[in-house]
Amino acid sequence: MKHFGFVKVAAAVPALKVADTAYNAKAIADMTEQAAQKNVQIVCFPELCITGYTCGDLFHQQTLINEAEASVSELLESGYARDIVFIVGAPVNVAGKLFNAAVVCQSGKILGISAKTFLPNHGEFYEKRWFWQASKAFNGMATYCGKTVPFGNDLLYAGNDFTFGIELCEDLWVAVPPSSGMALAGAHIICNLSASNELIGKNNYLKTLICQQSARCMAGYVYASAGWGESTTDVVFAGNGIICENGTMLAQSERFLMKPQLIVSEIDTERLAHDRKRISSFEPEHTGAYRTVNFATTVVEHLDLSRPVNPQPFVPSDRQQYHERCEEIFSIQTGGLAKRLAHTGCRKVVLGISGGLDSTLALLACVHTFDKLEFPRSNIIGVTMPGYGTTGRTYHNALNLMKALGTTIREISIKAACELHFGDIDHNPAVHDVTYENVQARERTQILMDISNMENAPVVGTGDLSELALGWATYNGDHMSMYGINSSIPKTLVRYLVQWFAETQPDETVRATLADILDTPVSPELLPAGNKGDIAQKTEDIIGPYELHDFFLYHTIRFGCTPQKILFLAQHAFGGKYPNHEIRRWMRVFYHRFFSQQFKRSCMPDGPKIGSVNLSPRGDWRMPSDAEAGIWLRELAEECE
C-alpha cells in the first residue's frame, strides 16, 4: 500500500512510580505494545521515564543506575523485538560520567543513545548536580546493556524514507536548539523527551514554542513530557503529549490526567520535503557534524489517518480567529486597491455587479477601501448589465445591495448590443453555444472599460482564484480588468467572507440581501432563464463542486501532491460525502482545465496576494501555457495499491 510520505508517530505519557524501574519498564512495554497495535512507527516517551525524572540525589546511587540499565535490557529481551522504534529516557553511564539520555530501541536492539545537550541549573532543576552536559568530546560509542552502540548528541536516525533527530527538554528552550541543526542536516521529525513542570501560563507558551520550532525547522515535532506518578514534592507535571507539523498542532494530550495517555498522529514527510525544496532560505548545512544511524522503517499494512484533513483548507477552521482573519483579508484587499488608486490619482472605481458572490465581495472590498480613504461611496460606480440569463432574483439583489451601501448605480441592458453584434458576425442567437455566451461577457467588459475611460476610474475585476484555476472566465471578457481584487481568493473563501460581512453589518437590508446572495446558486447567467424565471445554468453542475476544486487546487499548488495522494486525502476530508468515482471524475476535470487554461492566467491583471496559494504569473505560479496534463491524468487513472 502507498503511504504518501506519512509517518505514524506517538507521544506516550505513562503512569510511573519514582525509582521503581521494573514497574516503569512494564508501563513502557505496555504502551509500546499499544502503539504497535495502532501501526505507530515511532513512539517517544518522557525524559528519564525508566527511573522517573524527580529522583534527585538518588541518581548518585549506583543501585538505581544499575537497575535502570537492567530494566532497559528486559525491555529489549521481553518480546518487544518489533519493528516499532521506541525511545526511552534513562540515566546512562559512559566512561564514568552520568548522562541524561534517550535510548533508541528497535527489534530488540539499541540503535543509538542520544545525550542531552543543555542542562538546566536554575529554579527547582539542578541537573548539573547529577548529569554531565553532552559535548563533542563525548560523541562516540558507549557500552550499554552489553552492547557497544553509537552515543552522543550528534546522532540522526535514518529510516528508508525519513530521518529523525532527538533533543531533550531544555534543549528546546535555548536560543539555538539542537533540532535546528538536525533539521538542516536532514531530520524530518524531531522527538523531544521532556519533563517540564506546570506553572501559570507556561502551557500556552510551551505549545507556541513547539509549534514555532516545528515551523522554523519545517519538521514534525513529537513532544512527550512527564505526567502522573512523578514526585510532587515541589513541582507538578501535567503529562503533555504534543505532535506538531510545520507550525500546525496535529494532536495533544489532556493535561493532568491521572492515567497513561498515547497521543497518535501522522507526520507528512513528503509535504515537509516539498516545502524545504521550495523555500530557498532553508539551506542544508552542518551535515558533517552528524552521524547517521540507519534502521529499517516499519512496514505499515494499513494507513488509517488520525490527523485532521480540512475539507476547506482555504477557510480558517479556528472560530476564535474568525473576525481577525476576515478583517485581515479585507485589509489586504483594501491596502492593494488603495495603493493603486493613489498611484493613478483616481478617486473613483467601476465594477460590474451581477448579484452573485464574486461581484458582491468585490463591491464590499471597494466600500471598505473608500471608507478607509474617506472617499464618498458614491464614487463607486456599480454597473448592473442585465442579459438573456439574468434572473429577477440576482437583478434585484444587485440593485438592493448597491442602494443599501450608498454606491452609484447604473443599469445598462446588454441585449440590444448583443443582438446587433450577432448580426455583425452572422451568428444565430437561437444557437446557445460558447459564442452566444462569450458575446455577452465581452459586451459587459466593453461597457465597463468605456465607462472607466469616461470617469477616469479603473475597472475592478470580480473574478476569483477558483475561476482562474479552472479557466472559468471569458478571455478578454470577465477575465480582464485593471485590478483583480479577488484574484487570490478561492470560491470557498469568498463565501466565507461574504457570510462574515453579513453577520457583522448593522443594516438590516444589507444583511438580508447578502443572505439571499449566499443562498443563490453560482451561475454566470449567460443562458436564458428557466420557465419559472429561475437560474438555468448552474456552474457546479457543469464543472463540479467548488469545494472539491479548491481542495484539489490547494494540495496541488501548496504542497505539490500527486493525484493519488490528493484522492486519498479527499476521501478522508469529505468523509463519504462524495463517492470515490465522483472525486476522480471532478479531479479529471480539474487537471484538464488547469493545464489547458494556463494561457488565461499568463496575462491576468494585477491583484493582491491574500494567502499561500496564488496563480499570478509574476510571482507564485510560472507555468508554460503549453504544458501537458497527461502524466497527472494517467496517475489518477491508476488504482492505488
Is 339 among the residues known to form the active site? Answer: no
> Which one of 44, 55, 169, 561 is the catalytic residue?
169
126 Cβ partners below 8 Å, 6+ apart?
120
**Residue 145 reports pLDDT greater than 50:** yes
Is 169 among the residues known to form the active site? Answer: yes
Angle between helices 563-573 and 580-596 (to 10 degrees): 130
How far is Cα 254 from Cα 259, in angstroms, rounded to an integer? 10
List the beta bridge partners of residue 102: 89, 114
The 8-class DSSP code of residue 111 comes to E
**Topology classification of domain 319-637:** Rossmann fold (3.40.50)
Mean pLDDT (whole number) for 387-401: 95
Least confident of 207-216, 319-328, 598-607: 319-328
What is the DSSP annotation of 379-390?
GEEEEE---TT-
Q: What's the pLDDT score for residue 338?
A: 97
The 3-state secondary structure of 205-254, one letter per residue:
HHHHHHHHHHHHHCCEEEEEECCCCCCCCCCCCCCCEEEEECCEEEEECC
Q: What's the pLDDT score for residue 3?
A: 80
Q: Using pLDDT thresholds of 50, 70 and 90, give the confidence band for residue 55.
A: very high
Q: What's the pLDDT score for residue 121?
A: 79
pLDDT digits 0-9 by tens, 166-206 = 999 999 999 999 999 999 999 999 999 999 888 888 889 99
How far is Cα 40 from Cα 153, in angstroms, rounded to an integer? 25
HSE on the CB side for 250, CA within 13 Å?
A: 26
How far is Cα 263 from Cα 13, in angstroms, rounded to an integer? 8
Q: Are 384 and 354 in contact (CB under 8 A)?
A: yes
Q: What's the pLDDT score for residue 534?
A: 78
Q: What's the pLDDT score for residue 134?
A: 86
> Which one of 47, 67, 266, 270 is the catalytic residue?
47
Mean pLDDT (whole number) for 259-286: 89
How far is Cα 129 from Cα 126, in angstroms, rounded to an integer? 6
Domain 7-294, CATH homologous superfamily name and number: Carbon-nitrogen hydrolase (3.60.110.10)
How far is Cα 368 from Cα 131, in angstroms, rounded to an integer? 61
Beta strands in 319-417 (DSSP E): 349-352, 380-384, 408-411
- In angstroms, what CA-CA distances link 403 with 373, 381, 383, 400? 20, 11, 12, 5
The chain-wide mean pLDDT, for the chain, equals 93
pLDDT digits 0-9 by tens, 402-461 = 999 999 999 999 999 999 999 999 999 999 999 999 999 999 999 999 999 999 999 999
The 3-state secondary structure of 241-263, one letter per residue:
EEEEECCEEEEECCCCCCCCEEE
Residue with cell 505549545: 207
Q: What's the pLDDT score for residue 137?
A: 56
Q: Look at 56 and 591; give whichever has higher pLDDT.
A: 591
pLDDT digits 0-9 by tens, 343-371 = 999 999 999 999 999 999 999 999 999 99
Is 374 among the residues known to form the active site? Answer: no
Q: Look at 638 and 10; give whichever has higher pLDDT.
A: 10
CA 177 to chain centre: 24
pLDDT digits 0-9 by tens, 574-633 = 988 999 999 999 999 999 999 999 999 999 999 999 999 999 999 889 999 999 999 999
* First CA to last CA distance, the chain: 5
Q: Using pLDDT thresholds of 50, 70 and 90, give the confidence band for residue 285.
A: low
For CA atoms 320, 324, 326, 329, give the dihedral sign: negative
Give the predicted TM-score (pTM) of the model. Answer: 0.92
For CA atoms 65, 66, 67, 70, give the dihedral sign: positive
How far is Cα 110 from Cα 69, in angstroms, rounded to an integer? 12
User: Assign residue 345 a region: left if phi > 0, alpha if psi is -120 to 50, beta otherwise?
Assistant: left
Q: Which amino acid is at 470?
A: L
- What 3-state DSSP class applies to 23? helix
DSSP H stretches of helix in 414-464 = 415-424, 434-455
The 8-class DSSP code of residue 43 comes to E
HSE on the CB side for 177, CA within 13 Å?
A: 24
Q: What's the pLDDT score for residue 440?
A: 96
List the beta bridge partners of residue 12: 262
Q: Are 462 and 351 in contact (CB under 8 A)?
A: yes
Closest-CA residue to 223 (of 152, 171, 292, 153): 171
pLDDT digits 0-9 by tens, 37-49 = 999 999 999 999 9
Domain ranges of the chain: 7-294, 319-637
Cell of 384: 448592473
Residue 2 φ/ψ, nearest 5 degrees: -75, 140
85 Cβ partners below 8 Å, 6+ apart?
41, 42, 43, 104, 105, 106, 111, 157, 295, 298
- What 3-state DSSP class applies to 34? helix
Q: Using pLDDT thresholds of 50, 70 and 90, give the confidence band for residue 160.
A: confident
The percent of residues above 90 in pLDDT, for the chain, comes to 81
Q: What's the pLDDT score for residue 193?
A: 97
**Residue 400 reports pLDDT greater than 50:** yes
- What 3-state DSSP class applies to 155? strand
Q: What's the pLDDT score for residue 641?
A: 47
**Residue 234 reports pLDDT greater than 90:** no
Q: What's the pLDDT score for residue 279?
A: 86
Q: What's the pLDDT score for residue 640?
A: 53
How far is Cα 18 from Cα 230, in angstroms, rounded to an integer? 6
Closest-CA residue to 414 (of 343, 488, 495, 352): 352
Residue with cell 540525589: 57
Closest-CA residue to 486 (of 297, 336, 380): 336
**Residue 485 reports pLDDT greater than 80:** yes
